Structure 1
Amino acid sequence: MGRLYVIQLNGKIYTCKHCQTHLALCQDILSKSFHCRHGKAYLFDKVVNVSVGVKEERMMMTGMHTVSDIFCVCCGSIVGWKYEAAYEKSQKYKEGKFILERFKVTGPDGTNYWISHDARIGGSDADDP
């Protein structure tokens, strides 16, 4: 296993729901208005303590993207995905950015998020208008 990063910034962090490994700082959130199959998700500029899986093409609500699942380095849980490439010009801002799914992380105030009852079944990554 590689180096494990510990973030200390007055508790303003997101952690893995299963093992509490530090994943991201609140200050690195780019958007809280994303949706995935299981409910809400956050777009981050950077995350730590994740390993990046195999690149694959996925049709998402905002079009075709090349993405890689991201896994907690401690427990191996999938916590979201990384945008490797976007094919539509309007989606290029996502390239190199990370999604953390809310129900897979613990929030900065210690809250756990649960799968939304109104979660969308198909696709993922839609921005709220």
Structure 2
Amino acid sequence: CVEIIAKEGQSLKELYLVSCKITDHALIAIGQYSTTIETVDAGWCKDITDQGATQIAQSSKSLRYLGLMRCDKVNEETVERLVVQYPHIVFSTVMQDCKRTLERAYQMGWSPNTSNSS
């Protein structure tokens, strides 16, 4: 089903598949056929693995955001590698979102209180 959408949706820019029963095959098809896709959110899709995340990042030239929140079969080490390899794509996982939030807080002048005062 997603492969048909990817093939036929010539001007598709966003695709939200949160909590859908999709596999890596769907992400691979999107990367292969959707030449204009910028946003794919596959959060909470339990059958997405490192292979699907890697393949869509490699094959999609237009992708700018890949939501992988609670895709528990996607290893955080794989995501870290993808972040370095594809800096134009925002990868959304719990760990990546926490890092971005802390980075923004530091840029705004926040610093952790490390004193032990009670």
**TM-score, normalisation: structure 2:** 0.23
Relative to its length, the structure with more strand (as a share) is 1
Higher relative contact order (CA 8 A, sep 6+): 1
**TM-score, normalisation: structure 1:** 0.22
Relative to its length, the structure with more helix (as a share) is 2
Larger Rg computed on CA atoms:
2
